[in-house]
């Protein structure tokens, strides 16, 4: 789908459901809201839908109070953002029951092109960047839309620190600052506010730090009891994996989270050369080369053993072919 096809779709249809993945992050929320606000400006009916709780730190985003979790309504068009596959949306019904036409806009390399129309660009830092390019010159990017897109890009690039930070994404950020977005304000909202519970949780999680593969792998885990003791929820665990990734000599960081019914969620981060999206894919997960995740229906200890063995193998293989 190119830009012309997108506007043809907008012209021909009236109601739009803009959706994104469960465990929402800055890119999913920001891009959903930016596109929702733009479609409203074009006189369309547009409803943002994310089937999960919106973390408190993203509540400052204009339009976030419009987000609903589910809908029994059917729209002309369902636009899924930042989802490599249908499962990520976390909906109970088939997509065609939400929208007559399904549009898939994403930047995951692993995207399976599940839409009737697909706009997938894995070179984009974020879906926010793709939305900017869709809107640029067609819809006035006002302050509210700018703030949402800025937050998409700044969160998916880890404050312009990750390898997906490109000249294109930096230029867009500059234009958004021109629209009045204040980087220091966004930073304080998103990166510099921590609950006491998150600090207490961090304290106990750091005690679980373990190394393998000569210090190239660092892993952490979170049990249900640790969450309870810190009076923390999942949101409070945000970013903890980076403490493992940032240790000198570490290439891959892994965070294991214990869930109900023997389910364990696994987060991966890498620094330079291991493609963790391939690792996550081994366990039916997905993501990006430097940040990915999966869920495994096994208790924490067994999951740790299986996953860490897979990471060790990946490190060995990659070391063999490594050129830098």
Which residues of the chain form contacts with Mn ion (CB under 5 A)?
Answer: 27, 82, 126, 156
Judged by beta carbon, residue 82 or residue 236, the one nearer Mn ion is 82
Judged by beta carbon, residue 154 or residue 314, the one nearer Mn ion is 154
State the nearest-atom distance from the C-beta of 7 to Mn ion, in Å. Answer: 23
State the nearest-atom distance from the C-beta of 158 to Mn ion, in Å. Answer: 12
Judged by beta carbon, residue 227 or residue 267, the one nearer Mn ion is 267
C-alpha–C-alpha distance, residues 180 and 238, integer Å: 28
State the nearest-atom distance from the C-beta of 155 to Mn ion, in Å. Answer: 8
Judged by beta carbon, residue 127 or residue 222, the one nearer Mn ion is 127
State the nearest-atom distance from the C-beta of 280 to Mn ion, in Å. Answer: 15
CA 198, distance to chain mean position in Å, is 20
The three state secondary structure string of the chain is CCHHHHHHHHHHCCEEEEEECCCCCHHHHHHHHHHHHHHHHCCCEEEEEECCCCCHHHCCCCCHHHCECCCCCCEEEEEEECCCCHHHHCCCCCHHHCEEEEEEEECCCCCCCCCCEEEECCCCCCHHHHHHHHHCCCCCCCHHHHHHHHHHHHHHCCCCCCCCCCHHHHHHHHHHHHCCCCHHHHHHHHCCCCCHHHHHHHHHHHCCCEEECCCCEEEEEECHHHHHHCCCCHHHHCCCHHHHHCCCCCCEEEEEEECHHHCEEEEEEECCCCCHHHHHHHCCCEECCCEEEEEECCCHHHHHHHHHHHHHHHHHHHHHHCCC
State the nearest-atom distance from the C-beta of 27 to Mn ion, in Å. Answer: 3
State the nearest-atom distance from the C-beta of 108 to Mn ion, in Å. Answer: 7
Judged by beta carbon, residue 156 or residue 318, the one nearer Mn ion is 156
State the nearest-atom distance from the C-beta of 122 to Mn ion, in Å. Answer: 11
Tokens of 177: 């600052």
| Residues in a beta bridge with 46 | 16
Judged by beta carbon, residue 64 or residue 223, the one nearer Mn ion is 64
Judged by beta carbon, residue 21 or residue 245, the one nearer Mn ion is 21
Judged by beta carbon, residue 76 or residue 121, the one nearer Mn ion is 121
State the nearest-atom distance from the C-beta of 123 to Mn ion, in Å. Answer: 13
The answer to whether 311 touches 278, Cβ cutoff 8 Å, is no
Residue nearest to Mn ion (CB): 27
């Amino acid at each position: 789908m190119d830009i012309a096809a997108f506007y043809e779709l907008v012209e021909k249809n009236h109601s739009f459901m803009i959706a994104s993945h469960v465990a929402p992050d800055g890119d999913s929320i920001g891009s959903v809201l930016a596109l929702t606000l733009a479609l409203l400006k074009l006189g369309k009916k547009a409803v943002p839908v994310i089937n999960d709780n919106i973390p408190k730190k993203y509540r400052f985003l204009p339009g976030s109070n419009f987000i609903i979790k589910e809908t029994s309504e059917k729209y002309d068009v369902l636009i899924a953002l930042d989802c490599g596959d249908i499962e990520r949306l976390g909906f109970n019904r088939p997509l065609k029951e939400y929208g007559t036409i399904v549009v898939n806009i994403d930047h995951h390399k692993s995207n399976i092109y599940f839409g009737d129309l697909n706009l997938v660009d894995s070179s984009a830092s974020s879906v926010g960047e793709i939305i900017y390019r869709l809107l640029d010159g067609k819809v006035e990017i006002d302050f509210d839309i700018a703030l949402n897109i800025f937050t998409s890009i700044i969160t998916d690039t880890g404050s312009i620190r990750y390898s997906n930070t490109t000249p294109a994404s930096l230029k867009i950020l500059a234009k958004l600052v021109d629209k009045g977005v204040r980087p220091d304000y966004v930073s304080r909202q998103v990166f510099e506010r921590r609950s006491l519970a998150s600090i207490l949780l961090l304290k106990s999680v750091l005690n679980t730090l373990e190394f393998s593969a000569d210090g190239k792998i660092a892993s952490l885990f979170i049990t249900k009891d640790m969450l309870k003791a810190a009076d923390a929820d999942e949101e409070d665990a945000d970013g903890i994996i980076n403490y493992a990734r940032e240790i000198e000599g570490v290439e891959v960081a892994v965070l294991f989270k214990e869930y109900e019914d023997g389910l364990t969620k696994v987060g991966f981060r890498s620094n330079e050369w291991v493609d963790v999206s391939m690792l996550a894919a081994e366990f039916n997960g997905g993501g990006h080369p430097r940040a990915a995740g999966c869920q495994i229906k096994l208790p924490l200890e067994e999951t740790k053993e299986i996953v860490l063995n897979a990471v060790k193998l990946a490190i060995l293989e990659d070391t063999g072919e490594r050129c830098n």
